[in-house]
Amino acid sequence: MSMEDKICMITGANSGIGKATVIGLAKLNATVIMVCRNKERGELARNEIITQTGNKNIDLFLCDLSSLEQIRKLVAEFKEKYQNLHILINNAGVMLKKRILSVDGFEMNFAVHVLAPFLLTNLLLDVLRKSAPSRIINVASAAHKRAKMDFDDLQSENKKYRLFTVYGISKLAEMLFTYELSRKIDGTGVTANAVHPGVVNTNLGRDQSKFSQWFARKFFKSPEEGAQTSKYLASSPEVEGITGKYFVNKQPKQSSEESYSLEYAEKLWKFCKEMTKLNIYQD
């Protein structure tokens, strides 16, 4: 299988699942755009990937995805250089022990897991549609299954901050966004699916206790294992045209009952549209 004629963009691409996904697609000869926050770490990862795969068509774009302004700048820079985009993988993630606000004033989990994919994807939809058939892949988490949406407290202001609760809510919102997106773009030749990579040992756990980090190294999946389903959704002809699904271990699975709520999906879409001041995509 070759992806020689495909252009792929992956966020959070310099480490963990993102880097492993870049390597997997680079080995298939795809042109891969790495979106990274840190220039030094991004360039180091890019050089390692080129050396490892022999694929020189690996590009680096810098963007702090917690900043709406930087996302808009990223898209403008991308469109200046590229006319097509076949695969968009919203992979970047955070997991913070305390409540931190983005530069725009949003709780960081929500900013990176929900608002960033929402804005980036919508701003790139024109290129994705022009490049169809194309695919959008959102790296979600099974943590969404334990979460409940609270639209009166999407920024986790009113309750005590609990990491896994807040993280799970942001991932449930990401599922709702994925399903609503798939409905809005149905028939355009662009598909949108979510993936649970498994419980993976990544840099997201760097702020956890030493015991938690040791446990993750010993018992969790490697980034390479965690990247397999993202790579599959990006490259396999078997999933051409499949949209609005939640994949685990390369298989479509049921997500939580709440993730299928049309009411919640529409409410979240409206909220994200207002918060990002998105005006190019008409409902």
Check residue 216 and give its pLDDT: 39
Tell me, yes or no, whether 199 lies in a domain. yes
Residue 1 inside a domain? The answer is no
In terms of Cβ atoms closer than 10 Å to its own Cβ (0-12, 13-18, 19+), residue 51 is exposed
Give yes or no: 82 in active site: no
Q: Indicate whether 282 belongs to any domain.
A: no
- Cα–Cα separations (whole angstroms), residue 153 to 148, 156, 160, 166, 169: 11, 5, 11, 10, 11
Residue span of the structural domain in which 42 resides: 7-276
- Give domain status of residue 236, yes or no: yes
Among candidate residues 161, 167, 179, 232, the one labeled active-site is 167
In a domain, 223, yes or no: yes
Determine the 3-state secondary structure of 137 from DSSP.
strand
Q: What does the pLDDT profile of the chain (283 residues) look like in tens digits?
A: 789 999 999 999 999 999 999 999 999 999 999 999 999 999 999 999 999 999 999 999 999 999 999 999 999 999 999 999 999 999 999 988 899 999 999 999 999 999 999 999 999 999 999 999 999 999 999 999 999 999 999 999 988 899 889 999 999 999 999 999 999 999 999 999 999 986 654 555 444 444 344 333 433 467 688 789 999 999 999 999 999 999 999 999 999 999 999 999 999 999 999 999 998 644 4
Q: Classify residue 283: in a domain, yes or no.
A: no
Q: What is the CATH number of the domain that holds 235?
A: 3.40.50.720
Q: Is residue 2 part of a domain?
A: no
249 occurs within a structural domain: yes
Q: What angle do CA 57, 221, 202 make, to 5 degrees?
A: 60
Tell me how many domains the chain contains.
Answer: 1
